Amino acid sequence: MPDLRGAALAVLTSVLFATPSLAAPVKTPVPAPAPAPAVQRQAMLLKEVPTQEKLIAFTFDDGPNRRYTPQVLELLQKYHAHATFFLIGQEVVRFPEMVKKIEAAGMEIGNHGMNHKWLHKITADEIQKEITGGSDAITSAGGKKPYLYRLPGGFASDDASKLLGSLGYTVIGWSVDTRDWRMSATAEGIERIVMRDAAPGRIVIMHDGSVHREGTIQALSHVLPALEGQGYKIVSIGELLQKSSYQALRKLPPQKPCGAKKVKSQPKKERPKSFLERLRPTGRKPSGRKAG
């Protein structure tokens, strides 16, 4: 049983790339300055939340994917589980119909950027395009406006953190890294990591986008009933936040349905290339590390 007390404190006070002056975001003696839109609060980074309840949040990155996302949805529904899908805008443009399918299945959608760019490698303008482009793609496809962001690769910069904060995003990290994105990942390995690291309030990262997700699907088909057998409830990030004291520290914007935008049916032409095809035309593995 992991010691959540220390972790909880760290989680609740963590701010992306916190500067000394912003390290304690909760209690700041406010000398009532004039409205200063230029002062931007950095986004909160959440890796897990303190809770006594046996809740675990599952998250799936890099979709939507026409092949794997429906399989993940089917499994989640079979076990009455919920999850959060962090979608890439460019993939949403390719498969817009998946957005409504995900939401209709009772799942939550978060923003994973327009083109899956690492935010510490690009300019402030490009960061803005990544964030707003991803959000716009989701809402244009009929999805709710996202308020959760997952950083591709887990990387951010000061600019990114401030912009995400000013846009009202909470950045969602992870505390159970299945490493299912690795080419060498196996279903058994993924399953072992989840069952080893499962604990109340933790956030699991998996991937339903890009290629070769058979291992993820197979592992999921085992860990969902196994966790259920241990008394866990698998929830989305939003549900996890609702059940935790995290709410006391930061009010989340309500999840509003996004207006009445109708999705135009896409003309069936050839699809744009996937973000992976664009980023890695040679099929090489990315040189960086880690999930996201």
| CB of 201 or CB of 292, closer to Zn ion | 292
| CB of 82 or CB of 150, closer to Zn ion | 150
Number of chain residues interacting with Zn ion (CB under 5 A) = 4
Contacts 24+ apart (CB under 8 A), 250-259: 250/44, 250/170, 252/147, 252/170, 253/147, 253/168, 255/108, 255/144, 255/145, 255/147, 256/144, 256/145, 257/144, 258/139, 258/142, 258/143, 258/144, 258/145, 259/139
- Nearest approach, Cβ of 151 to Zn ion (angstroms)? 9
What is the C-alpha to C-alpha distance for residues 188 and 253, in angstroms, rounded to an integer?
Answer: 38
Binding track over 273-292 against Zn ion, x by CB under 5 A:
-------------------x
- Nearest approach, Cβ of 45 to Zn ion (angstroms)? 16
208 binds Zn ion (CB under 5 A): no
- Nearest approach, Cβ of 130 to Zn ion (angstroms)? 12
String of DSSP letters for 209-255: SSS--HHHHHHHHHHHHHHHHTT-EEE-HHHHHHTSTHHHH-PPPP-
Q: Is 61 labeled as catalytic in the residue annotation?
A: yes
- When CB distances to Zn ion are compared, the closest residue is 61
Are 56 and 202 within 8 A, CB to CB? yes
Q: Which residue out of 3, 61, 116, 120 is catalytically annotated? A: 61
| CB of 225 or CB of 288, closer to Zn ion | 288
Q: Which of residues 50-69 bind Zn ion (CB under 5 A)?
A: 61-62
| CB of 232 or CB of 275, closer to Zn ion | 275
- Nearest approach, Cβ of 97 to Zn ion (angstroms)? 21
Q: Which of residues 143-172 bind Zn ion (CB under 5 A)?
A: 152
- Of the candidates 253, 62, 71, 220, the one whose C-alpha atom is nearest the C-alpha of residue 150 is 62
| Alpha-helix runs per DSSP H in the chain | 4-13, 68-78, 89-94, 97-104, 124-140, 158-166, 187-197, 214-229, 237-242, 246-249, 275-279
Q: Is 177 labeled as catalytic in the residue annotation?
A: no
Q: Which residue out of 82, 177, 207, 208 is catalytically annotated? A: 207
Q: What separation, in Å, do the N-terminal and C-terminal C-alpha atoms of the chain show?
A: 26
| CB of 42 or CB of 90, closer to Zn ion | 90
- Nearest approach, Cβ of 153 to Zn ion (angstroms)? 7
Catalytic site positions: 61, 207
Binding site for Zn ion (CB under 5 A): 61-62, 152, 292
